[in-house]
Chains A and B, each alone.
Chain A
Amino acid sequence: MDLNSLTIHALSEKLSKKEVSSVEATKAYLERIGAVDDKIKAFLIVTADEALKQAEEADKRRAQNNNITPLTGVPISVKDIFCTKGIRTTCASKILAGFVPPYDSTVVARLKDAGAVILGKNNMDEFAMGSSTENSAFQKTANPWALDRVPGGSSGGSAASVAALECAASVGTDTGGSIRQPAALCGVVGFKPTYGRVSRFGMIAFASSLDQAGPFTRDTIDSAIMLKAMAGFDPRDSTSIDAPVPDYLSEIEKGVAGLKIGIPKEYFIEGMDAEVEASVREALKILEKEGAVLVPVSLPHTEYAVAVYYLVATAEASSNLARFDGVKYGLRVNESGNLLDMYKKTRDSGFGGEVKRRIMLGTYSLSAGYYDAYYKKASEVRTLIKNDFETAFKACDIIATPTTPTPAFRFGEKVADPLTMYLSDIFTISCNLAGIPGVSIPCGFTKENLPIGLQILGRPLDETTVLRAARAYERAAGCTLQAPAL
């Protein structure tokens, strides 16, 4: 088996047995990127020199038996939304072209501390706004399973890089489904932790009350390994939760016997893809066979989730993106020497269409005279959606749904119709509004060989049970790594 198709835990075992070095693994991944990324375009920047240096360090660390973690020497990639010290960070936007942060985001710093090797930065929708990665200012990422289709978004580059075996794992962010949706569309595991579980420091903000970082991996055990390294209180993020991080691996094989799985009727809707529905229902049967009890639950305010999301997220974004003004860093277009003109021209040429659309939506919903009807009302409904989950979790331990209503769509298919595009996040958005953890795991393929995702949601801070259930399915369904032919 190729080095670059191993899971983290398999590679880690080989590294600890000295069957292979981190430098060898890193070279294997760099070669793979060199061979396939022209087709996939998952990377905005590949930092080969730095990666090899980190690999050498990791090998030394392992040789000296110095603070070894399962990630020590494992090559991964990160979404270009995470600030990386000394490495260009653009958020796939022209407005940040050439921006080199003087600091690492907490997520990157923790992964580096664990000994992970960072191969490069992944493509994404500009400022994480999108569901197809088509909104990147620089390139389109292809779905490794069907090169004429999108990988999902906004963390499309991360999902595609894991699916295309260009890295052992990747890190993305999820504001309304931006980890789970591309994970489903690319056939990998994508985990969004509880809001506040992973520090947002150094992660370029889209919607601060919703953004959360999480891993893309080949299986759920890898997901647990990555999460353990990333999670935990950070004094630099006031919204990070000061709670102990459990050892996710110690519980992960416990199975689902007796676990109550809530099936929300609002998530099996008309118009959803028949193959997707069939696969998900089949997955639920497998979980039932494993001893889980399926209970019908209701999340009655689900129908408002998309509207609430596009009011709250755009409002926060309109403010978060105000700092990109041409004054301090990044792009500046200054032809007339007039301040207002500089602002307008910089932001007009620096931001793409979708980003501008969302800034305008958000500015509108916060405006005097509209605030109460839009932003404030949306915040109130958000509380109702959160309450829906609290109520549901009284009757069940986890909730299972499809991740997306359809498998991967073709390039350009939804670009012209933003509303249709927004609906591809219909099953993932509520989880962010409620701040709860959720995972998408592969649960089969369509006849056209497009991956399908099963979503499992859990109680706040109960990543352990979510992972346990996901692992139970993965094990029972006999999921082994499926790699696309490239």
Chain B
Amino acid sequence: MKYETVIGLEVHAQLLTESKLFCACSTKFGSGPNTQVCPVCLGLPGVLPVLNGKSVEFAVKMALAVNCSVNAKSVFARKNYFYPDLPKGYQISQYTEPLAERGYLDIDTNGGKRIGITRIHMEEDAGKLLHGEGPEDSGSSFVDLNRAGVPLIEIVSEPDMRSADEAQAYLKSLRDIIVYLEICSGNMEEGSFRCDANVSIRPVGAEKLGTKAELKNMNSFKFVKEAIEYEVERQIDVVESGGKVVQETRLFDSAKGITASMRSKEEAHDYRYFPDPDLLPLVVSDDLIEGQRKTLPELPEAKRTRFIKDYSIPAYDAGVLTASRDLANYYEEVVKATNEPKVSSNWVMGELLRLLKEDARDVRDCAVTPASIAGLIEMIKNGGISGKMAKEVFEAMYKTGKTPQEIVKSTGMAQISNEDELSRIIDDVITRNPDNFARYKAGRVQLFGFFVGETMKATKGQANPQVINKLLKEKLDK
């Protein structure tokens, strides 16, 4: 039997606000344990939450970017469960009345597809447990509450994806958008962008959804794909061998590449959600929504399309160049100065990204300005340097932050294009190699390359190859 895979994703994104969702503590990552805490996020008796307005703006921004309608009124609810990383014994989240609903996101696998977004809601993050890492007692667990109360948005998709590839494409696209909006770092390894997947299978053509498993613990795009692919195979095996898929939560084990049961439906928590009486309903005004709409940047998809159309560059180039807002802006500045979109793309996408990648640096911290790259491209175009030299010049630019003009000047790397000068050098080369000259004249035309090489050697590689070719042809063939 043929099966169809059905996937829905729940994505948690940490918002890049300065302070936590319900108190003034810092959200900075990587500080010493329990150094960014206060009575509110520690859940001390009698304290009360006060909503961080910035987090609402960020969440609204995301809602608009994925075409959701923002609810005029939404309600914070308590999700009740006991765990040591949850200081109040409940997480403040949103449940029946979320911030935003009914959005979508277009992905471009298999000629394009629209993935529905059910809802976006706001909630607070929990703390972290450290097991057996204490200075004295390796058998104990320790609680770090720096992360407790950091603002999150949860983005829940419709079960619209039909393959691991589609799920990965959706997730990547969602990450691109959230990073473009500058409201989340999008870092999956650090956990600031996390994904759970609801996966089920059904016979092709069936309408009814199969029983789903919820997959957790996939902290890279690669793992998301691997986990879903494994899970689909597993579910097909279960069904094919006469079994039934059970509703459960499964953890992905990246070392083994498998998913394993964590808890079944029967063991699932009853979270006893109810409206949090400590917080008023969240009212989002039209002014706030329209204000956020105005600040929305051009989103990755729109930018890619525009690059392909306006700059006539390949889709691949457009994809790479729009991966971040900074890179896209950088590229556009180079193009503005050179009016050479493809050549500019080759330099930015090729040389620049290669060097940045080697150093694991961001384009934002790059010493080479767009104007410098444009200057380099200009020098190549007017014969100031050869393409080969240009690469060396570029590396020097990258290392020193100097302009190509400065580097060419200081290293004497300028290309010799002066015909009189080159003519004298070529005459000299011919005089020094009378035998080869004679053999060339006798028909050994392959020796043309020998004379090019000798001329280059004589100029320490700085001769303009086109001029050499032209002059040599004149002199050898006359």
Chain A interface (Cβ within 8 Å of chain B)?
A: 81-83, 89, 91, 96, 99, 101-103, 105, 200-205, 207-209, 235-239, 315-316, 318-319, 321-325, 327-329, 337, 339, 343, 363, 366-368, 371, 375
Contacts and interface: CB of A to CB of B under 8 A. Distances in A.
13 contacts: A81-B46, A201-B48, A202-B46, A207-B277, A236-B48, A236-B50, A239-B279, A239-B280, A322-B89, A323-B87, A327-B84, A327-B87, A337-B139
Interface in B142-164: 143
A205 B279 contact: no
Nearest to B81: A322
A96 B45 contact: yes
Nearest to A127: B45
B138 to A, nearest CB: 13
B272 interface: yes
B80 A322 contact: yes
Contacts of B350: none
Contact of B82 (A202, A325, A328): A325
B47 A202 contact: yes
Given A203-B46, A327-B143, A328-B43, A319 B280 contact: no
Contact of B49 (A82, A238, A327): A238
Nearest to B80: A319
Nearest to B280: A238
Contacts of B87: 323, 327-328
A309 B34 CA distance: 38
A218 to B, nearest CB: 28
A366 B272 contact: yes
A117 to B, nearest CB: 22
Contacts of A208: 277-278
Contacts of A239: 48, 277-280
Nearest to B268: A368
Interface residues of B, number: 30
A105 B48 CA distance: 11
Nearest to B141: A339
Interface in B254-290: 270, 272-274, 277-280
A238 B50 contact: yes
The 7 closest A-B pairs by CB, nearest first: A322-B89, A209-B277, A366-B272, A208-B277, A202-B46, A204-B45, A323-B43
A375 B273 CA distance: 11
Contact of B272 (A328, A337, A367): A367
B327 interface: no
Nearest to A93: B45
B222 to A, nearest CB: 33
A226 to B, nearest CB: 20
Contacts of A325: 82, 84, 89
B9 interface: no
A203 B272 CA distance: 24
A323 B80 CA distance: 10
A32 B226 CA distance: 76
A105 B226 CA distance: 52
B372 to A, nearest CB: 50
B88 interface: yes
Given A237-B48, A328-B43, A329-B44, A375 B84 contact: no
A323 B83 CA distance: 10
B45 A101 contact: yes
Given A321-B89, A322-B90, A368-B272, 16 more contacts: A82-B46, A83-B44, A96-B45, A101-B39, A102-B39, A103-B47, A205-B45, A208-B277, A239-B278, A325-B84, A328-B44, A328-B143, A339-B84, A339-B141, A363-B272, A366-B80
Interface string B47-59: 1111100000000
B334 interface: no
A99 B45 contact: yes
B24 to A, nearest CB: 10
B390 interface: no
